[in-house]
Amino acid sequence: MKIEGRNAVSEAIKAGITIDKILFSNSCFDKAFNDCVNLAKNKKIKFQMVSNDVLNKESVTKKHQGVLAYAVDYKYSTVEDILNVAKQKNEEPFILILDGIEDPHNLGSIIRVCDCLGVHGVIIGKNRACTVNETVIKVSAGATSYVKVAKVTNINNCIETLKKQGVWVYACELGGSDLTKADLKGSVAIVIGSEGFGVSALTKKLCDGVVTIPMKGKVNSLNASVATGIVLYEVMKQR
């Protein structure tokens, strides 16, 4: 797994992710870059100064910012791990479920939002969905080092399991109750659907309710990561 970008690599180092080697550009000298180099030195991580041509060749995202780390493959968590995070913090579970998000830029942005708004973990499906890859890690600006992501075989089975454990599950879709008037306190999981098709019919049926973001414009849809940010902020505000 390659981790690219100054923030992503710095946060991976701070989080204790196992890194085999880091490539640094030999033509970068600004503070953010130097801070990343010093972090690597302090943690005694092997690194090498190379030309931008070498970095460009090794880069997956093509936006390495002069820093590229070779790390162990991303380690997924379990749903139980996510629930345990809430328990350790003495908080009611706050979970995000993604039903078929396929764009790695959306997934990276969503994980970054989750870190900012106190979400205990993200659940994604094993099939027909984006996994945590180099682009996701880069776009998340290092948030993948802190937000637990569980990959499950069946989203619907996962929802049923969460409901049995006292978690209320709400889908974010058009045609539901006004988001700002819904009671989203307590143990809650929010379901965000795919970019093209939204939340699947069966998944929506399993949810305890449907919430809708009130909008005034003529375009009645939002990018998945933007919609996620709005919904999660409302939950955080109520909590």
**Residue 44 Cα distances to 9, 15, 189, 218, angstroms:** 14, 15, 40, 55
Mean pLDDT, the chain, whole residue set? 95
Secondary structure in 3-state letters for 103-115 = CHHHHHHHHHHHH
Which whole number is the average pLDDT over 4-31?
95
User: For 79-238, CATH number?
Assistant: 3.40.1280.10
Q: What does the pLDDT read at residue 150?
A: 98
Q: Which CATH number fits domain 2-71: 3.40.190.10, 3.40.50.460, 3.30.1330.30, 2.60.120.1310?
A: 3.30.1330.30
> Could you state, in order of their start, the residue ranges of all structural domains in the chain?
2-71, 79-238
Please write the tens of the pLDDT for every residue from 144-164. Answer: 999 999 999 999 999 999 999
Distance, CA of 83 to chain centre: 16
Please write the tens of the pLDDT for every residue from 49-94. Answer: 999 999 999 999 999 999 999 999 999 999 999 999 999 999 999 9
Which whole number is the average pLDDT over 98-104?
95
Please write the tens of the pLDDT for every residue from 187-234. Answer: 999 999 998 889 999 999 999 999 999 998 777 778 999 999 999 999
How many Cβ atoms from other residues are within 10 Å of residue 198's Cβ? 20
Q: Quick check: helix, strand or coil at residue 77?
A: strand
pLDDT > 70 fraction of the chain, expressed in percent and rounded: 100
